[in-house]
Structure 1
Amino acid sequence: MIPIKVAGPVPSEPRSPATTALQYLQPGALNLTALPPLSLYIHFPWCVRKCPYCDFNSHEAKGELPEKDYLDAVRLDLEQSLPMIWGRKIHTVFIGGGTPSLMSAAGLDRLLSDVRTLLPLEIGAEITMEANPGTFEAERFKAYRDSGVNRLSIGIQSFNGAHLKALGRIHDEAEALRAVEIARSTFDNFNLDLMFALPSQTLDEARRDLQTALSFAPPHLSMYHLTMEPNTVFAKYPPALPDDDLSADMQDMILETTAAAGYGHYEVSAYAREGRQAQHNLNYWQFGDYLGIGAGAHSKISFPHRVLRQARYKQPGSFIDAAKRGNPVQEEHEIARADMGFEFMLNALRLVDGFDPNLFGERTGMNISAISKALNEAESKGLLYRDHKLIKPTELGQRFLNDLQEMFLAG
């Protein structure tokens, strides 16, 4: 007799993969022949000041940060999550926020020591830390590097002082330039985050921002179109933004300029020199697994016959208290079989060069025929190219990516 999973709270996963497979096997279950690569995301929730466009889980730091209490809670969170990922190696680590570079050098060293103590890290694993200009101190960043961070992601957003002020950033153009200099002299691998289609931005101003960034020869660039996210100050009080035609001109300029400078456009917003693609983010886009720990962090964990999503408590104080009580997870649910195709395509269609159709089966446990109707429709509209070895968005599909992704909602 095959045990049936009963309704109610999901228990901690057993340590034995064989037990997991038996316990959750049921009619209509998925059938993953191998588990995907696993990454670790660690959230540091504080920042100096909340930016008006930001919808991330970030909280303004008021007074001294409870760094020790928070890191204690993060370790508890990780310890309590271990049964779900027993025996699996961590391929990449990403420390995001908020502003993780507000963390002390000793705090970061303690955090990565805890990670190494509790988890098997892949040799040479990419370990990225987000940082913002205005929190840069050369000696502290050398200490971060010595603790094991080998890739820095810097939230520049713009090198134009007026635009930085409009975006509510705490740094000016001089601090932005200084931050990149420190990063370049301290880290072999780093990313620069820039935004375009900013309030009142001209095409020439967007070009100057990009040219300034390229003058530092960063291994990786992220170029984000400013969007008005719900529940932000900008959503409530929207500034005057470039129109669609000007935004499209900026996008064309970015594509041409980065290509001429030797950067490959491999994901909607990502450009990299050869061999410098962000491995952590690639794992997201290829529908890999990730354990998210810390306040508000999200997880996607696969088992042979199901895929689980989790979200931690968002408020730092609530997260710390919940971790002490033994369960910092606020929400938890399985991805329904009917939603699996959309969840996969939502991520994979961001890849400019597309994906092998076999990856769909490997990551979802389903046959590609499950989304054949949507594939046929997208192909007929010129939004998608496919053959037996490749599925990828066309140039038109990249332009109208949201429309393309939504076509898979119905399966």
Structure 2
Amino acid sequence: MSAHDHVMAHRLGDLRELTKSLNLHTPPAYFASAKTMLPYEEALVLLRDDDSGRPLSLYLGIPLCVEHCNFCMYFYGLADRAGSKAEACVAGIEALLRKIDSTAGRPVAGSYIGGGTPTVLTAAQIERLLTAVNDVFVFEPGAQRTFEMSPGTMSEDKARAIVAGGYHRVSFGVQSFVHAVVKAAGRTFTPADEARALIRYCRNAGATEINIDLMVGLAEETDESVQDSVAQALTSECTTISVYRYRPARGSEVRSRGGIDRYVATCAARVARLADLATRHGWEVEGRADGEHVRLIDPSTSVRRSERNYYETRFRPQLGNSLAGIGSGARSFQRDHRFVYCAHKSREGFDLAGRLVEVQDCDLPSRVAAALVNELFREWTVDLAAIEQDVDVTVRDLFGAELAFLLGEGVLVEEDSWLTVAPDHRTDWMYYEKLLYPSDWLARRSASRHLRAR
């Protein structure tokens, strides 16, 4: 082993332990290199008025729930029975949007309203919310517009308000159709027949796309419970099923599952079996079995649209996309150049207009690193030419030593401008990829004790 390879191998050993201690098995969307503060509305206008011609997605978050599911990373607070928090939340978003000039800006290519649980709002509040959105943002023809629902807070009048506001795709957070699994997650159980009734409400209201969210990796889950949940969803008259892998947040959870590698392998095997079941029902499958998200698609009912019109939560080099995120805890990004984070918590109130938010800029090495690791995580392959089209540097100018080591070890395979993770190294790519992370970002992450697996 050369001296250079010895150094790389030593770095890799340290990074393997760091990955486990930080529970850092999925790459972040970006690596920030500088931070400033701006009023929220000014930061959103910068994102909306980008004249690049690239697609813009819009996210709007309602930071309220009726219960705290113990698997959820997006819990911000409980709604009150009187509805005062929901009213304050809608009023706060309306006030923020009134600060944004509605006569300028590029159209929105895709949108998602989530939370929290946006269906804690009344039908009248949903109507006000969507009116405020439509007054400020123009949508491209064919834009995917999704409204997230919790089965326990959904009703016919809410379905009608959602569709009347232009949101024709709805997504139900079911997680499992097996009572023991849902009970262990601290969530109210929704039987399959109730879910089918809710789907009929949405169809009657005019919804054209209906998605069911399921999860793998939850407590009390078995191979059989996962198969049963998917089988129920396949016959529910939905058009798509999104299957997410639970991400353990505490070290004790990881240890109880036999360690992260065993946990991921167990989940991947279950996802592979459910994907086979869906295929036998004539459905299509998108995504990797060992990834964090797989989508099952009914080709006979699903709406097909151009790639730019799907709602995107991460930057993709081939799209050059941006995201405007509105709400407590929401994140936004202007391509891979700038990221905005509203760190405000709903317990501090719901006034967003004039509130200072973090605006994080990314230097060139950080942008290239994020593009590399996210595309390789998502697709196992990346086109270096696509990354280099908007920068005045080659990827090898920045990561020549790291790429040479990964190619020499057979971890990556090169063909023309494409790099692909070799099949034999895909189970441990989560460790090798850390060689491409900015070292100063890893150092800051390591120094943040609250980010470590507990």
**What is the TM-score normalised by the length of structure 2?**
0.72
Shift of 1:131: 0.8
- 8 A Cα contact 2:79 2:85, kept in partner: no
Match of 1:265 among 280, 283, 286: 286
- 8 A Cα contact 1:153 1:191, kept in partner: yes
Which residue number in structure 2 is paired with residue 409 of structure 1? Answer: 437
Aligned-partner residue type, residue 344 of structure 2: K
1:24-63 C-alpha deviation (Å, 9 max, x unpaired)? xxxxxxxxx9463211110100000111121214211123
Q: 1:191 to 1:372 in 2, by over 3 A?
A: farther
Q: 1:73 to 1:238 in 2, by over 3 A?
A: same
Match of 1:122 among 137, 140, 152: 140
Q: Does residue 252 of the first structure (1) align with residue 272 of the second (2)? A: yes
1:9-408 equivalences in 2 (<5 Å): 9=37, 12=42, 34=52, 36-63=54-81, 64-80=83-99, 87-174=105-192, 175-183=194-202, 186=205, 187-216=207-236, 218-230=238-250, 241=257, 244=263, 246-260=266-280, 261-266=282-287, 268=291, 269-273=293-297, 275=304, 279-281=310-312, 284-285=315-316, 288-302=321-335, 307-316=337-346, 318=348, 320-323=350-353, 326=354, 328-352=355-379, 354=381, 356-362=383-389, 367-369=394-396, 370-381=398-409, 383-388=411-416, 390-393=418-421, 395-396=423-424, 399-400=427-428, 402-408=430-436
How far apart in 2 are the matches of 1:258 and 1:134?
26
Shift of 1:144: 1.2
Shift of 1:283: 5.8
How far apart in 1 are the matches of 2:44 and 2:222?
56
Shift of 1:166: 0.5
- 2:214 alignment partner, SS class: strand
Which residue number in structure 1 is paired with residue 15 of structure 2? Answer: none
How far apart in 2 are the matches of 1:279 and 1:377?
36
1:281-302 C-alpha deviation (Å, 9 max, x unpaired)? 3764556211111111111124
- 8 A Cα contact 1:266 1:353, kept in partner: no
Q: 1:407 to 1:80 in 2, by over 3 A?
A: farther
- 8 A Cα contact 1:311 1:329, kept in partner: no
Aligned-partner residue type, residue 330 of structure 1: V
Aligned-partner residue type, residue 363 of structure 2: A
- 2:153 alignment partner, SS class: coil
Shift of 1:364: 6.3
- 1:223 alignment partner, SS class: strand
- 1:40 alignment partner, SS class: strand
Bigger relative contact order (CA 8 A; separation at least 6): 2
Across the two proteins, how many residue pairs are aligned to each other? 382
- 8 A Cα contact 1:344 1:364, kept in partner: no
Aligned-partner residue type, residue 340 of structure 2: Q
**Unaligned regions of 5+ residues in structure 1, if any?**
1-5, 21-32
How far apart in 2 are the matches of 1:365 and 1:255?
42
How far apart in 2 are the matches of 1:351 and 1:7?
27
**Unaligned regions of 5+ residues in structure 2, if any?**
1-33, 440-454
How far apart in 1 are the matches of 2:159 and 2:44?
39
How far apart in 1 are the matches of 2:56 and 2:99?
17
- 8 A Cα contact 1:259 1:265, kept in partner: no
**What is the TM-score normalised by the length of structure 1?**
0.78
Q: 1:368 to 1:250 in 2, by over 3 A?
A: same
RMSD after superposition: 3.7
Aligned-partner residue type, residue 173 of structure 1: P
Which residue number in structure 1 is paired with residue 28 of structure 2? Answer: none
Shift of 1:164: 0.5
1:373-392 C-alpha deviation (Å, 9 max, x unpaired)? 54454455555455336455
How far apart in 2 are the matches of 1:289 and 1:257?
35
